[in-house]
Homo-oligomer: A and B are copies of this chain.
Amino acid sequence: MAATIKDIAKATGLGLATISSYLNGGNVREKNRIRIEQAIEELHFEVNEVARGLKTNRTRSIGILIPELNNIFCAEIITEAEEVLRRQGYAAMICDCRTDAHREKEAIDFLLHRRVDGLLMIPSGETGASVQRFLRAKKPVVLIDRKIRNLDCDCVLVDNKGAVKDAVNRLITAGHREIGIIAGPEEMYTAQERLYGYEQALAKARIPIRDSLMVRGDYTIRGGMKAMRELIQKNTDLSAVLVSNYEMTLGSVIELHELGVQIPEELSLIGFDNVEFARASTPRLSIVTQPTKEIGKKAAELMLLRLQEDTVSGKKQKLRLKTGFVEGNSVRDIKREESLERTKE
């Protein structure tokens, strides 16, 4: 059996409180400090965080709930968040709900029973009610990437609308008019924002918005493939497409590949996320990038802040991070070609 502070007390002849005080950074007489450290060494003592948690009602662990661990966007965020948390002594209990609302709810229960001190989540279902229970228990919740209706808590979002607006503007500037979008699921927050950015960009350029140019996928590879096929079938004059997440970008590329459609000669493409994939593609893909590391870091920091303040009340922070853009060769510059043409004449 592992040694306990009782053993240390016995070995040093000191009282329990002294040992506990030492362990928690309290003041202990130099002489005793040495004796305690020696005893800890000899007996291989290690604090039992479980007992400590029972007593203090704080487990020093954070529940992390995500739709899909096996998804580069989530994985990058979580990697960063976990690191920041662990540096401060917090353990990460990670639950993957496979983008399933029921499992998401189950996971929340699970984490609640486990008495995690806070919840960091990328919501996938409409789990407002479940999450409320955390707040009622005075445990902070930080939402990542998406909001939840009627739930006021800290969140770290991305400027989705601006990102897509900017990307579509690039297509317009390059002379494209028949611009399609592979949007995400209707109920999804990021999908709504991204689609809105698309509409705004077109509206501003006075390009009519056509239903046939807006197709929804489910943020999966397969969904991207299907959506791209649909877009091409529906629009014979399709000139460029914006794909609104990574998995669907991958799916789109696969589909175009199988259909034998040349990028950017026959179709221009702007994708989302995963710089490495974009770089390895032929041609290199132009993509919108999200600051995943920063998202994870900020979310963890927000959580630590709440934990420190020991209050879930007060003004909630809503961070909105800027996206980036990595230029590739997947967008045909029609304007430039035309002007070159003119020069020739």
Contacts and interface: CB of A to CB of B under 8 A. Distances in A.
Given A86-B107, A250-B276, A281-B282, 19 more contacts: A49-B113, A51-B54, A54-B54, A61-B93, A68-B79, A69-B75, A69-B78, A69-B82, A70-B75, A71-B75, A82-B95, A86-B95, A91-B95, A93-B93, A94-B94, A221-B276, A250-B277, A277-B280, A282-B282
Contacts of A82: 69, 94-96
A115 B91 CA distance: 12
A2 B194 CA distance: 41
A261 to B, nearest CB: 12
A253 interface: yes
Nearest to A95: B86
Copies in the complex: 2
Nearest to A116: B91
Indicate the member of A54, A70, A280 with the most B CB atoms within 10 Å. Answer: A280
10 contacts: A46-B113, A47-B113, A48-B54, A48-B113, A50-B115, A61-B114, A70-B79, A71-B75, A83-B96, A92-B94
Q: For chain A, what secondary structure do more than half of its interface residues adopt (helix, strand, loop), or is it mixed?
A: helix
A96 B92 CA distance: 10
A112 interface: yes
Contacts of A70: 72, 75-76, 79
A47 B114 CA distance: 9
Indicate the member of A2, A69, A276 with the most B CB atoms within 10 Å. Answer: A69
Interface of A: 2, 46-51, 53-54, 59, 61, 68-72, 75-76, 78-79, 82-83, 86, 91-96, 98, 107, 109-110, 112-115, 137, 221, 250, 253-254, 257, 276-277, 279-282, 284
Given A49-B114, A115-B48, A276-B250, A93 B95 contact: no
A70 B257 CA distance: 27
Nearest to A263: B282
Nearest to A277: B277
Contacts of A276: 221, 250, 254
Contact of A69 (B53, B79, B110, B279): B79
A91 B69 contact: no
A162 to B, nearest CB: 26
Contacts of A49: 113-115
Contacts of A98: 83
Contact of A50 (B46, B54, B94): B54
Contacts of A54: 48, 50-51, 54
